[in-house]
Structure 1
């Protein structure tokens, strides 16, 4: 009798597992060893050539991790090895793992609709040119908004009106930032920016506080930023800034509150905005040496300047995480919103957001999620996102695989694009997703 009961339990577990996805048969001793050897080889080559100082990689299925490894160091001084608990600046992966996840929860709870319009929810935009933009258009990047605005540069000036940046090095432009040289006489606008704590001002860096009145000028710029044809795909950070405003006003909660509710339900703690509030600075990977705005090696604060001026909590960027925390989110999404028997997101919402609603029009995007036109690296049902700092995560329910690659390729400078020229992340994805 015990054998019969045990057999029925095993059959039940198999049946339950199959109800979430149709897993590819996993050959742990074959495919997995081959994939790990391939990843090790790719990583050794990347570290040798200076693609980035360090990385975390996880390969997994809807049920468990197959490969989980750390590589390299925090920076090129090679004094501190990358550890499992170290967190990376996710950059635009935040669009999905932050604002989009929160939106999925709210859509599933009927608290916001994809047809809701910006001007109907956010009073500031009621009578502006972007009032009629829908949440759907923002999430699919078909709003027509310009890709980005360097809001922070209006906080900077020079005494004689000379340019902030020039393309040639000189006595007055001695230090490099990106591919430009920085004016050595930059002045910060004291109306909006101070270097000591000030009541009700927003901390945007360890020694910088911003007057919240500045946000009026930011929103005014966004309101007139619809410079591309509506309905055409143009990837824009501004879309997710608006998504954040919409969901915050709808709920009366801040984005970090909304996301933390989801992370807590998933039992993950190495993920969130403003990492110095929940981990030590020793566990945060450094990003760029910023010779322009913050005059420092950025560590523990968001790299993206737009997210920085919002106090590190933004729709376009701001999240920090380790690969293990993201792996839990991948498993939840691959199991139609379910994680360890708990329905975190509605299954129909997960499907709606991760499909390609505009593929017939040649637009390969999900709602928030990145999708790619099938090619030598990507399949039709892949979905995920990448980040400017050198981060990548993609998954596919059909092949029952996900891949997370976290790097800090912008340390010490964002000009290092070697990993992209080599199709580094895409090659690993193709290898493990076949």
Structure 2
């Protein structure tokens, strides 16, 4: 049973009634009017001007809907295939996957010093820092950004030094993933744009997933993020200033493309009969080896950050631009919430989580009644 709608103005209870008539063996677990109400209040409160949500299982999409407008001025209605700036979700979908591919191919050992794959790194290391330390934000690098200078990001990141020994403290740092992106490029022999396109995005038919800046961005399809007014340009400053694709941010994508990516991970690395990632490396991405960090390997695995309908094993990530996704291998469900955030970062994060929960509790998976 697939429940999929993009009806934004029709009464939800009537739609639920029609589904119940057509599929009497299924029941909706809740009414989805609450999702409409939350979007309306979030737009009214200035948290975002528009949103797209998609949710499903490894086998199907059971919910897809757009609300609001693509721009802060509320002139272009949001649509389901809108292209969003993913900001830090790039770390999980792009860079972590590139590193995972390299591990699968024997090009990278995650548990040796990252400088083995980045010989031109010239920062000061007082203790070894492994690839896994970078991927778990346990490297000792902080989130200050002295490397954020136009055309000098790569030169400066290669001189950026940790502030503490690796493993002592979790601190989220964009530097970790800029370095991981460079490591993936050195190991694979391709730049991030080429490597991810050839081995991830094209096999998954993610046709609208590209690193910024987008070439000739279409204002009718590319969302104008509330946090930046330049269409098709990354909201993240280092991603704008690097003059190349980098690992911490810069990907643009759609709900449909991210849905395909989520389904691949739920299917243990398979998609339409093709093996994208090994089952072993997919497990590694979602299992925390210890409690020092909420990040398993590029993906957060922390129950406090999940919608209540999802299990403690859920993998998740958020982006500063107003995007979130959750992938639950236990219940075999995922949900992607994309917004063009205009308001408070933390409040918008919480509202996206609540919106995800309302969609999940209302629509999926639909429960079969035994009569």
TM-score by length of 2: 0.83
- Alpha carbons 1:120, 1:126 under 8 Å: kept: no
Shift in Å at residue 299 of structure 1?
Answer: 1.7
Instruction: Verify: 1:95 aligned to 2:24, yes or no.
Output: no
- Paired residues of 2:53 and 2:337 also in contact (CA < 8 A): yes
Match of 1:115 in 2: 111
Please, which of 348, 353, 370 is the counterpart of residue 419 of structure 1?
Answer: 348
Superposition pairs of residues 186-197 of structure 1, within 5 angstroms: none
1:106 Cα deviation (Å)?
1.4
**How far apart, in 1, do the equivalents of 2:115 and 2:234 lie?**
29
Offset from partner CA, 1:154-196 (integer Å, 9 cap, x none): x5xxxxxxxxxxxxxxxxxxxxxxxxxxxxxxxxxxxxxxxxx
1:57 corresponds to: 53
Change (3 A) 1:424 1:29: farther
| 2:186 is the alignment partner of 1:249 | yes
TM-score, normalised with respect to structure 1: 0.71
Indicate the RMSD between aligned Cα atoms, in angstroms: 2.6
Distance 2:183 2:171 in 1: 20
Q: After alignment, is 140-149 or 276-285 more displaced?
A: 276-285
* 1:371 aligned residue: 301
Q: Give the greater-gyration-radius structure (CA).
A: 1
Q: Residue 31 of structure 1 corresponds to which residue in structure 2?
A: 28
Structure 1 CA distance for aligned equivalents of residues 292 and 129 of structure 2: 21
What's the counterpart of residue 232 of structure 1?
A: 169
Match of 1:259 among 196, 210, 223: 196
Paired residue for 1:22?
none
Residues 222-261 of structure 1 deviation map (CA, whole Å, 9 limit, x = unaligned): 1x23346634211111110110111111121101111101
Aligned residues: 336
* 1:307 maps onto 2:222 in alignment: no
Of residues 369-378 and 232-241 in structure 1, the stretch that sits farther from structure 2 once superposed is: 369-378
Offset of residue 219 of structure 1: 2.2
Cα distance change, pair 216–363 in 1 and its aligned pair in 2 (3 A):
closer
Measured after TM superposition, the shift of residue 73 of structure 1 is 0.7
Of 260-269 and 309-318, the range deviating more from structure 2: 309-318
SS in 2 for 1:125: coil
Match of 1:428 in 2: 355
Which of 267, 273, 277 in structure 1 is aligned with 2:215? 277
Tell me how far apart the structure 2 counterparts of residues 432 and 79 of structure 1 sit (CA, whole Å): 26
**Equivalent residues in 2 for 1:392-411, closer than 5 Å:** 392-409=324-341, 411=342
Q: 1:374 to 1:302 in 2, by over 3 A?
A: closer
C-alpha displacement of 1:288 = 4.6
Gap regions ≥5 residues in structure 2: 1-22, 362-371
Contact 1:266 1:328 in 2 (8 A): yes
- What is the SS of the residue equivalent to 1:402? strand
The answer (yes or no) to whether the contact 1:307–1:316 under 8 Å persists in 2 is yes
